[in-house]
Structure 1
C-alpha cells in the first residue's frame, strides 16, 4: 500500500520539482518579474513549500520590493527557526527596507535587522555572508544606536578565520569607512596578494578613485588586466582617464578596444564608452569629435540625463 501511494504521488513530486527548477533558472537569468509570477502560481497549489517561498523572497528582493520580500522571508524564519540563511535573508531585506524609509521609521527596524544577523551568525559559525553584513552594519550605525568599530573588527576577525581574503577585505572596508586610507590600502593589497580576484582589485581601485588618485587607480587596473584579461577593464581605464583628465591617449585607446570587443557580458553599455570618449575629446579641446561621440551616446541611450548635460558642456567649448 505504501509503495502504491509513493508511485501515485511520484509524478506530482516530479512536476513540482521541475517547476521549482524553472523558477531557479529564471532567477539565474535575471528574469525576476517572470520568476515572481511563476512562483506565485506555484504557491497557489503548494503554499507551504519553503523553497518556493525563498524563491519568491529572492525575486522580490532583486526588484527592491523590500516590504513584500520581508513578508516572505519572515514566513521562512517562522517555519524553520534554526536555519541561518533564512535569518540572514530576513535581516538583509529588513536592512534594505530601513534604507528606503525615513530615519525615524528606520530606527524602529534596525533592532530587528541586528537580531536577525546575530541569530544567523550564532546558528552557523561558517556563514561568511552574515559576518560581512555585521561588519557593514556595525560600521554604518551611529554609536548612539549600537554602531561600533570594535564590534565590526570582531566580525572581520571571524571572517579572517573562515577566509583570509574576506578578512582582509573586511578590514580594508572598515578602515576606508573610518577614513584611514593608508590602512585600507594595506589590507586591500594583502587581499590581492593572497587571493588576486577581480573583486580584490576592484576594491583597491575604488579606494584610489575615492581618494582622487587616478594614476594609482589606472596602475591597479592595468595590474588586474594582466591577470584577468577582461574587456571591462579597458572601460575602467577609459573612465578614470576621462573623469580625471589624465593619460588621455591611453584612455582613448582603451575605450576603442572596449567598443571593438564589446559583448553583453562586459556589463557596461556601449553608450557609456561613447560618453567617456566624448569627455576625453572635450579635454583635448576637439569639439567636433566630442560632439560626434556624445551624439552616439544619446542616440544609444536617449534618456540618460548626464549625456544631455555633457552635450551642453561640449557645445559651449
Structure 2
C-alpha cells in the first residue's frame, strides 16, 4: 500500500515508518526535518502542517491508501489536514491518547468512555490541554467518518523515547547504590512498546478495521517491581531497590509521575491510571512483547548514543523528569 505518515521520524512515527517499510509498503513522511532523520526507503516531504502552502504541496499529485497521523496536537491543524486528504486517502488513522477521556486517570476507561469537551473547529494555537486530543479526534471523524480509526494510546516506551521516563530509570539504576523505588512493587502497570503499537496500527489498516481502540498493554500486564527489576538486570547494576511507601514520598513533596517516573500514588485522582481496558485491541490482534525485552533494547540504544536524543522533560509541559540526587538521598536516609 501507499501510506502517508504525518511525522515519521521521531519515536512512534519512526516505529511506524520502520514497520511499514519492512512490510513492503510505499511510505511518504511529512515533517519539518528537525526531530530526526527519515528512514532510508521513505519518500521524505519537508513541511509544516500548520502552513497551508506546505500541505498543498504535499498533496499535489499524490494519493495514498492510508494516512497515519502521529503528530496531531491541535484540532484546527488536524481539521485542515483531514480536509485536504479526504479525497486523496482511503483511511485516516489518528493516534490519540487516553488523555482524551474525561474520566482518566481518576477512573478506568474503555472505548465507550466519554471524551473531554473540545470542538473540532477550535481556533488555532490553543494552549496545551488534554482536551485538544479529543477535539482532534472529532476533526478526523467529521471528515473521514467510518473510514477512520482512533487509537487511544497508553504509556509508550522503548528505544527512541524522547521524553526519558524509562531512560531516566535505566541511567539511575546503572549508577548503582541504594535507589529510591516508589510505592508498592506489586502495583500493576500498563506499558506498550512503540514498535508493538505501530505494528497493531498497521495491522488495522491492512485488514480494513476502523473505529476506536484503546491501545495499550492488558490491565495487570506487569508491575512496578517487575519493571524496575528488568532495569537492574538489563544494566547489570548492583543497585539496591529501596521500596518506599506513598505516604513517605508525598510527605517529602515528591511529585507523582515525573520526579519518580511513572509512579502513581494510591489516591483517588490516580486510581484509573493503569486500568485502561484494551481488550478490544487485544481481540483485534494487539500483542505486547515482554517488558524485559523492551527495557533491554532501550538500554542498548542509550549506550549507543541514545541519551543525546532524550529531553528528560514531560512533553509540552517542560516539567523535568527525575528526582534530584540530593533529595533522593535525604529520603533514603530517613
On whether the aligned pair clears a TM of 0.5, the verdict is no
Larger radius of gyration: 1
Higher strand share: 2
TM-score normalised per structure 1: 0.30
TM-score normalised per structure 2: 0.29
Bigger RCO of structures 1 and 2 (CA < 8 A, at least 6 apart): 2
Higher helix share: 1
